[in-house]
A = this chain, B = another copy of it.
Amino acid sequence: MGLTQAEKVIPGVRWLRGYSARFAVADLIAGITVGLTVLPQGLAYATLAGLEPQYGLYSAFVGGLMYALIGGCREVTIGPTALLALMTSRHTGHGGESGPHFAILLCFLSGIVELAMAVLRLGALVDLISLPVTVGFTSATALIIGASQLKALLGIRGGSGSGFAETIKTVIEKFGEARVSDSVLGFASIAKLKDIKTPADASKGRKTFGVALWLFATARNALLVLVTSSIAFYYDSKGERPFILTGTVKSGIPGFHVPPFSTQLPGPNNTSTEVGFVGMVSELGINIALVPVIAVLGNVAISKAFGGSGINPTKELVALSLSNIVGSFFSSIPVTGSFSRSAVNHASGVKTPIGGIYTGALVLLALGLLTPYFQFIPKAALSAVIISAVIFMIEYEVIRPLWKCNKRELIPGAVTFVLSLIIGVELGLLAGVLADLAFVVYRTARPHISAELETTSSEVPFIIIRPRHSLLYFPAVEWVRNGISKAIKSHGNIPVVLDCRTVNEFDYTAATGLGALRKELDTKKIPLVVLGPSNEVRKMLRETLKSSLLVASNEEELDAVLLELSCESRKGELREVVLPLLPQVSTEQESPPTTAVDIEE
């Protein structure tokens, strides 16, 4: 079997075509660099999700392999992220073994939903999330995550609830209990992490010193964790414990298990209640749909940023889906593309997604060999890793342009931000999307309408109504009718022309409304002419109204129709000409106006 046939089965095989030693070295370096980032992040995000640290590493090796097999954008790295960890943390607080069970099942179900989205082409659902909503969502998430890490950073234990307000309250109340050693370590770590920025020209001018500086900056998380745990280890060997430590991390590569479809919730007096699949699903609730949508949103953003338009969104979705499904068999929590690690990958000069395989190998190696040392990692250091990762997610640059030219668009973003902080990121996001969509509906329901008094070349005055919207749909019907009534009130009983040249679509309600308007105008002997309807609009009007309507295809026809109407009117025959001409009645007409295009034609 040649590469070409193999590629049909596994798209990733194409990376092997012309895979030179130079590529392999580049991918190896990039893979290891990303690995040095994902090790501390994985431990930290698992803690953020309310799980033991090793689950973060369990989540960090399947995605790279799956993406190498199917994905199409070399920079994308799939693994645990702060956002998904936060969403997962909602379900891990029930005690006992139920935490990891819920997280792993959520991972599995997210994968299934992503697969369904790929099959049903529902990936486009992320199109419904506008940029202001995205910004509101990620900024709120960053604040919530940051606040949740404040406790660990200050060495504060306990406190109620995990919401933003509750966390802040706990921090303020227990500020007196803050441990100096943890606080100093934590804030020093953040300062260090912030200080050592990845040089912008890292991927370009690679002189020896440049490379060293860049490697140092890129692996700063790993270095920080190494240094702080060494300090903790040193104190520990002297029998002292100045910092709150991570504690034992389970050693070894995770086994291959079917995801848990039932779990035990601890009850009072050492009893426990069995929760079946249905109970677990109802606990996960809306997150079964929202975690995949957020995951896809993240993935799309990354492949758009790095891959341009050459990316096949369906394949990306399948890669993401399999990363979650297969991952859940290795005790993974929900994963998606990580923007920060993808940027590291890009800066490290990765050539193909095979780099992800090296990352995975490094993670597995760490699980096998390094876990005994992980217990010495100070919690404050991990919190510093998280905070310095999410601090850049707070965006406010979007506010200024919106404030200057479209304040209305600030609303969905603000709704998302505020509600995310108050009632949770999932409902905040939903509310923001609905606020955005409500405006789309509003625009369709309340299109701009201009009503102007004009005269034909032959000096016949008429009112021309121009709806500035391409759809004339049911929510706008009353609005347009009122606009026309007002125009008649201010300009008098002269012919009304509805300019449909920019209107692409009428729906049935609008067509019926036009019929009712015509009847109403007939009683006042005001002619109604429709100008320039498209063929679709003509067809809809013909089928709905079942009677003729004065139609002019262009302005010349309009002039002629209006002239004819004014002559008829002077002869006192207006009524006959303008009244609704039912097909069977129209034969009774002695001289129907020749220029009026009967809509039945």
Contacts and interface: CB of A to CB of B under 8 A. Distances in A.
Interface in A508-562: 508-509, 512, 516, 520, 523, 536, 539-540, 543-544
Interface in A98-150: 124, 127-132
Nearest to A477: B127
A194 interface: no
A456 interface: no
Contact of A520 (B308, B400, B502, B540): B308
Given A130-B507, A401-B508, A405-B536, 16 more contacts: A127-B476, A127-B477, A127-B478, A128-B445, A131-B509, A401-B543, A402-B508, A406-B507, A406-B508, A409-B508, A436-B474, A437-B437, A440-B473, A469-B470, A469-B471, A502-B502
A508 B540 contact: no
25 contacts: A124-B479, A127-B476, A127-B477, A128-B441, A128-B475, A129-B474, A130-B473, A130-B507, A130-B508, A131-B509, A131-B512, A308-B520, A309-B482, A401-B540, A405-B540, A406-B508, A440-B444, A440-B473, A443-B471, A444-B444, A447-B470, A468-B504, A469-B471, A470-B471, A502-B502
Nearest to A408: B507
A599 to B, nearest CB: 13
A543 B404 contact: yes
B309 A481 contact: yes
Interface residues of A, number: 56
Contact of A508 (B132, B475, B523): B132
A251 interface: no
A398 interface: yes
A389 B482 CA distance: 32
A264 B423 CA distance: 35
A509 B132 contact: yes
B444 A398 contact: no
Nearest to A123: B478
A52 interface: no
A437 B443 CA distance: 12
A448 interface: yes
4 closest cross-chain pairs (CB), A and B: A130-B474, A401-B543, A131-B509, A470-B470
